């Protein structure tokens, strides 16, 4: 099989809906007694992964690689670097635009990262996410909250320890 064709098949296998992390979040929301959400709702800017229109809550479950997680310091592919850097920059700009549009429309935006839904981080992250959704009544202050994010000083200490670029 041609290498370019193999790469194409691998890239096509990446899903945008019903990913593992997204399914985990939805299961935890149902388990917490918070059903009634909409999936990829077209009427909300950016089509949030999970949306509670009555509560005006939009939840985005971001994959660390495609959305460039600030904690993972994932490497950029070594081939066609300019393309990938531009692609990731467009993804981040689109995310920021979607969040801003939702906040401007009066929504609370909850963002969680794939890495925050693994092992020991899953329970605290989901507890925080469930608490935010449960207390929302549709009249809360519009804002963007990164659910499960470590305090800012943790990030600074980790980056200092790992070096300037966050890599060992």
pLDDT, tens digit (0-9, with 9 covering 90-100), for 2-36: 665 655 555 555 556 668 889 999 999 999 999 88
Dihedral sign for Cα atoms in the order 3, 5, 11, 14: negative
Q: CA 36 to CA 124: how far, in whole Å?
A: 23
In a domain, 10, yes or no: no
In a domain, 2, yes or no: no
Q: Hey, is 168 helix, strand or coil? A: coil
In a domain, 37, yes or no: yes
CA separation (Å) from 127 to 117, 143, 163, 167?
Answer: 11, 19, 32, 30
- What is the span of the domain harbouring residue 57? 18-162
Exposure of 63 in the CB half-sphere (CA atoms within 13 A): 12
In a domain, 3, yes or no: no
Q: With residue 31 as reference, give the H or E element that holds it.
A: helix 20-31
pLDDT, tens digit (0-9, with 9 covering 90-100), for 102-145: 999 999 999 999 999 998 899 999 999 999 999 998 888 999 99
Locate the DSSP E strands across 96-155: 108-113, 143-146
How many domains does the chain divide into? 1
């Amino acid at each position: 099989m041609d290498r370019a064709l193999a790469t194409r098949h691998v890239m096509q296998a990446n899903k945008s809906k019903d990913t593992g992390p997204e399914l985990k979040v939805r299961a935890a929301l149902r388990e917490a007694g918070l059903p009634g959400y909409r999936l990829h709702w077209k009427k909300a800017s950016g089509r949030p992964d999970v949306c509670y229109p009555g509560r005006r809550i939009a939840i985005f479950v971001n994959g660390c690689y495609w959305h460039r997680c600030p904690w993972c310091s994932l490497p950029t592919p070594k081939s066609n670097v300019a393309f990938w850097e531009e692609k990731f920059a467009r993804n981040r700009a689109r995310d920021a635009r979607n969040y801003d549009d939702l906040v401007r429309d009066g929504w609370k935006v909850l963002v969680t990262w794939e890495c925050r839904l693994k092992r020991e981080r899953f329970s605290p992250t989901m507890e925080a996410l469930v608490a935010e959704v449960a207390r929302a009544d549709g009249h809360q202050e519009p804002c963007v909250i990164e659910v499960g994010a470590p305090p800012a000083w943790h990030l600074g200490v980790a980056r200092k320890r790992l070096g300037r670029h966050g890599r060992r």
